[in-house]
Structure 1
Amino acid sequence: MKWLSKFKENPKKTLLIFLGAMLIINLLQGLFTDLIFDEAYYWYFAQNLDWGYFDHPPMMALFIKISGLIFGGELGVRFFAPFLFAGSIYLTWLLIDSPKRDENILLFCAIAVALPLFNVYGFFMLPDTPLIFFGALFLYAYKRFLSSNAWVWVLLLGFSMAALMYSKYHAILLILGILISHPKLLLKFRFWVAILFSLLLFLPHLMWLYETEFYTLEYHIIERAKTNFKAGRVFEYIGGQLGARGFIFFFVFLALFKFKSRDRFQKGCKYVVFTALIFFLFSSFKRNTQPQWTIEVIVPLMVISFYYLIENVRFQKWFFRLALVNLAVILFARIALVKEGLLPINYEAHGNKTWVADLYEQSGGLPVVFENSYRDASMYAFYAGVDTYSANNIFYRKSQYDLDSTEMKMQGKKVVYVHKGSRPYDMKTFSAYKQRTLKGKIIDEFHSYRKLRCVIPLEVLSPNTADRIPLEIFNPYNEAIDLREEIIFHGFYLFENNKIAAGFTFIPEEMKNGESIIIGPNETLRLHFSLKTPSELKRIEMANELKKKEEDRRPASEIDEKYEKIKFFRVALSEYGIPPGFQGRRIAIDEQ
């Protein structure tokens, strides 16, 4: 077709038109699409800029903060996403060295526009959005570094590595993949200069980790729940990787396995992809692995796919056909994101303004404490403009709300305490949007002590010596706390995956005489308590089973097996009827 040939005649103009069109489309999409929960959570990060956050490094928070200084609303969160997306595509174009590159400009554009998951980051501002851009910049700097020792490329390489790590910790896989493909880099002086420069730039985050006692790494590496191997999770991971490429997955992965590298850069691209895919394959043995966790390899994957398709012209016709199918699905999904009701499922961007408005009206605009929902807390804060806090407990997971000082803002205030469960103190339904029912109660004077620290100063805990277990409690608050009046002590036995096996409440020995125990501001108090051993709890559980009807009883062997799997113990504290939090660190159980 003649109109297609005009695009091929001027590839630079075609690329600029394509990038400009994508930029405008993504800006409009970002403007008219309501926030998703993760974006609201990262917006909450940006309200207090720091060198790090509980879940991620700070790069996306920085972009959101600057966006918010320019615009309000959703675009005040997403403004930079379309520009980072366009920049990623342009840098990908620069990564390709082939005499056939310009004449295949339409093929390149088709690859870029037909990858479903890649296009999501054209308007959503998530950690992966800057990760993709800085990944492309890193590969560009590496490509130039291979052909020139000029200091500009050394410094750009170092900067891009630091920017990658400031975007997401997974970025280390990109750097590692390049090193595996070219280990002799470690013998180059200027490469070490690049590494030292990147470490210098990354030093503020490393200091932040140290100052927070590696709180976030401890959770994500040690405490985060892991489970036994399940083949189903592995197949879900593989299926997710195929689905993330849509109908063109066959050609993308065919290129990955069939394309033969001709230089160090092409080899590096392949190694980067395989490093990340294999790493997350093994990760899927122990935990659920989400498809977007490998999005960092999208740029090298695009490069490899382009090279393969221009060398195997026979595949291009079917590639374009399937790319059009992908594009049609993507366009429909984009419209459905804006127009609620086009899909049979209720997407997370839909309905949030409705339940937020309901809760705001029913609560009279009071500050809101959400139980176990950093997602709802941040979404409500964004759309309602009201102070919120997520009171996370041991039955859920930690979040940024456990790390920062947001809890302090709520102390002593009249608040609405909201949860999704069903408890005796459910007094009111504050919102009932579709399947989202928010219930709770008004607390005239809210207090919580999630930041109390409980440490058992032992190497391991032996249930055989269950009496007078030492417990040190540190009070970081600026007020004294009456432990007897305000705190209930809990002990929990945990499985290897940190899920709760059994629990009990206890009273420290020093408090059994009925006297108040006051712990002053920034003081550490040493108490002692007695364990209910796993064998005791097992006897209680078996006795309770015997009270049930015979057909409802669990087999004794099942209960035995449960208590044999116990690996850890931790202390937790509850206050004013709020379920216990994460005040105590886990300690290993002596298995001897």
Structure 2
Amino acid sequence: KYHAVLVILFVLLSNLKLVFNKYAWIALVVALLCYTPHFLWLVENEFVSIRYHLFERPNAPYDFNKYTLGFLVNLVAIFGLTFPFIYYSLIRTRSKNLFTKALLYLTYGVLIFFFISSFNRRVQTQWIIVISIPVAILAFNYMIANVTVRKWIYRLGLTNIVILLFLRVGLIYEPLFPIIYESHGNKDYMGQIQSSAGDNPVVFENSYRDASMYAFYTGKTSYSLNNVNYRPNQYSIDDSEKEVQNKKVLYVSSYLTTREFTFPRIVGDTQYANFIDDFESYRKLRCYIGKEKISLNDVDHPLKIYNPYNKNIQLDKLRFATSFLNGSKQFNEVVPTSLLPWEKDLQHLKSKDTTYFTLKLPKPEKDISPAYFRIVISENELRYGLNSAIFKLN
């Protein structure tokens, strides 16, 4: 997780002399070298994960229960029943040396950072788990000198272990679990889908979870086709799409109106499916606009579309639209959009090439005031995809 940079930041703030310490710089260089494969991956994929988290991740209006209270509940959850004595140990610990000072700066720094963040977005539990090691060290040192705290952490810690083991077993053995959980029934559910699909690949719409789970349980080919109502994921950037191109596939979606198969599940929405004899998608088509901020009053904009595929794509297979988003970058509506090619009598998007158009930006059809938009493409009557970055409207 990119939040690991907070570890470096707060440890450095605890002792600014580290700036002049050669060993600190050696540690930093070694860490960066270890990250080199990921940095190269980011460059090759247009910094997709950073761009998503910083600029494209949908949000929602502030909700105290969901955001700030949820953050506080997560602080309890990561230490379980021991949390009163863990945080008591943290509060009572004083900085006696540089190591303890670094642990305190790191812990309090991360807690304050994400507490402030909770007023803007939901803080996920794994983001704050970085405090677990420094807090465990601080609590251990404190409990060594405090008999009462040591006694209660020991008792409650053992209780934590028993409960966690019980719940872990319950995740895979359903009768032990007190509620029906999302991990239950998945093997049987994927088996039902495979019995209908046979040896044909399965394309799930808007579910990287189901696509990967199907491949895991069945060993068969699967793919997640992500549309305008969803978000990019690994299936948007890896080579999974080519494994299902021009093949007969079982297409699984909750959006289908005509349905050959119905797949109810224990937890979650019922899914429906049809066979598509010659599946063809072009979700890697990318649209680019030179401007970062655009007004709805602006009509014409230069637009370029890059075709990364090894074949030309016929324009009559494609439909173009504008997806309007609200201030929280949540989907509002799709409005069909006209693109005028610069090249006369253009019939296709050339392979491994960029084609230029003039974008006629439409007005929203709903009575809304959108804050953002993106250009989206539908191929072969599939639902519109996610084919551009998100652009801000003035």
With normalisation by structure 2, the TM-score equals 0.93
Q: Which of 428, 434, 449 is the equivalent residue of 2:282? A: 449
Q: Which of 389, 395, 401 is the equivalent residue of 2:235? A: 401
Q: Which of 303, 315, 325 is the equivalent residue of 1:483? A: 315
Tell me the SS of whatever aligns to 1:508: strand
For the 8 Å contact 1:474–1:524, the answer to whether it is kept is: yes
Deviation at residue 471 of structure 1 after TM alignment: 1.9
Q: Which of 265, 271, 274 is the equivalent residue of 1:433? A: 265
Aligned-partner Cα distance in 2 for 1:239–1:325 = 19
Deviation at residue 459 of structure 1 after TM alignment: 4.1
Match of 2:349 in 1: 519
TM alignment of 1:228-239, pairs within 5 A: 228-232=61-65, 233-239=67-73
Aligned-partner Cα distance in 1 for 2:336–2:72 = 44
For the 8 Å contact 1:572–1:584, the answer to whether it is kept is: yes
For the 8 Å contact 2:180–2:267, the answer to whether it is kept is: no
1:458 to 2:262 alignment: no
Match of 2:361 in 1: 531
Match of 1:67 in 2: none
1:505 to 2:336 alignment: yes
Asked which structure has the greater CA Rg, the reply is 1
Deviation at residue 380 of structure 1 after TM alignment: 0.5
Tell me the SS of whatever aligns to 2:174: coil
Q: Which of 163, 173, 180 is the equivalent residue of 2:6? A: 173
TM alignment of 1:88-103, pairs within 5 A: none
The list of structure 1 runs, each at least 4 consecutive aligned residues, that deviate by more than 6 angstroms after superposition, is none
Q: Which of 12, 16, 23 is the equivalent residue of 1:183? A: 16
Deviation at residue 516 of structure 1 after TM alignment: 6.4
Aligned-partner Cα distance in 2 for 1:503–1:214 = 26
Distance 1:319 1:198, change over 3 A: closer
Distance 1:377 1:260, change over 3 A: same
Amino acid at match of 2:25: W
For the 8 Å contact 1:354–1:433, the answer to whether it is kept is: no
Match of 1:575 in 2: 379
Percent identity for Structure 1 against Structure 2: 36
Distance 1:313 1:355, change over 3 A: same
Match of 1:209 in 2: 42
Distance 1:188 1:568, change over 3 A: same
CA displacement, residues 398-435 of structure 1 (integer Å, 9 cap, x when unaligned): 1011011111121101111111x243232222x33324
For the 8 Å contact 2:204–2:225, the answer to whether it is kept is: yes
Deviation at residue 176 of structure 1 after TM alignment: 1.9
For the 8 Å contact 1:174–1:297, the answer to whether it is kept is: no
Aligned-partner Cα distance in 2 for 1:261–1:459 = 48
Aligned-partner Cα distance in 1 for 2:229–2:315 = 22
Aligned-partner Cα distance in 2 for 1:198–1:319 = 34
Match of 1:91 in 2: none
Distance 1:356 1:253, change over 3 A: same
1:305 to 2:139 alignment: yes
CA displacement, residues 364-397 of structure 1 (integer Å, 9 cap, x when unaligned): 1210111000001001001111111111112111
Deviation at residue 487 of structure 1 after TM alignment: 0.8
Tell me the SS of whatever aligns to 2:176: coil
Aligned-partner Cα distance in 1 for 2:74–2:383 = 36
Aligned-partner Cα distance in 2 for 1:438–1:492 = 25
Tell me the SS of whatever aligns to 2:302: strand
Amino acid at match of 2:97: D
TM alignment of 1:211-230, pairs within 5 A: 211-230=44-63
Q: Which runs of 5+ in 1 are unaligned?
A: 1-167, 542-558
TM alignment of 1:313-352, pairs within 5 A: 313-352=147-186
Distance 1:204 1:364, change over 3 A: closer
Aligned-partner Cα distance in 1 for 2:346–2:361 = 22
Match of 1:60 in 2: none
Match of 1:356 in 2: 190
Aligned-partner Cα distance in 1 for 2:325–2:264 = 35
For the 8 Å contact 2:373–2:392, the answer to whether it is kept is: yes
For the 8 Å contact 1:228–1:285, the answer to whether it is kept is: no
CA displacement, residues 23-54 of structure 1 (integer Å, 9 cap, x when unaligned): xxxxxxxxxxxxxxxxxxxxxxxxxxxxxxxx
CA displacement, residues 271-298 of structure 1 (integer Å, 9 cap, x when unaligned): 1211222222222222221223222221
Equivalenced residues, count = 391
Distance 1:587 1:363, change over 3 A: same
With normalisation by structure 1, the TM-score equals 0.63
Match of 1:161 in 2: none
For the 8 Å contact 2:59–2:330, the answer to whether it is kept is: no
1:199 to 2:199 alignment: no
TM alignment of 1:134-283, pairs within 5 A: 168-232=1-65, 233-283=67-117
For the 8 Å contact 2:256–2:272, the answer to whether it is kept is: no
1:469 to 2:273 alignment: no
1:587 to 2:364 alignment: no
For the 8 Å contact 1:482–1:516, the answer to whether it is kept is: no
1:367 to 2:201 alignment: yes
